Amino acid sequence: MSGKKYGVRFYSGNFEKDQQTVSQILQKIANHIKEQKVSPQIQESGITYEIRDFQELNDGNVYQGIFATLRDDAPNIREANGAERSIDLRDNEHLIEKNHFLFFKKNELLVWQVNGRGSHVRRFEIYLSRYSNSTITLNDIINVDALDRINKGTVRNLKIRIARPRNAQLIAANDWSDAAFSMMSDLEGGTMSIEISTRRKGIGLSQ
Q: What is the mean pLDDT of residues 112-122?
A: 88
pLDDT in tens, 71-98: 887 788 888 888 898 888 888 888 899 9
Percentage of the chain beyond pLDDT 90 is: 34
Position 71 scores a pLDDT of: 85
Model confidence at 173, pLDDT cuts 50, 70, 90, reads low
pLDDT band at residue 69 using 50, 70 and 90 as cut-offs:
very high
Higher-pLDDT residue of 94 and 100 is 100
Share of the chain above pLDDT 70, in %: 77
Rounded to the nearest integer, the mean pLDDT of the chain is 82
Instruction: Grade residue 104 by pLDDT with cuts at 50, 70 and 90.
Output: very high
Min mean pLDDT across 18-22, 122-126, 182-186 is at: 182-186
Long-range contacts from 101-105, C-beta under 8 angstroms, 24+ separation: 101/63, 101/64, 101/65, 101/66, 101/67, 102/62, 102/63, 102/64, 103/13, 103/22, 103/23, 103/26, 103/62, 103/63, 103/64, 104/61, 104/62, 105/23, 105/60, 105/61, 105/62, 105/63
Instruction: State the pLDDT at residue 166.
Output: 56
The pLDDT tens digits of the residues spanning 16-50 come to 666 788 999 999 999 999 999 899 999 988 889 99
Record the pTM.
Answer: 0.69
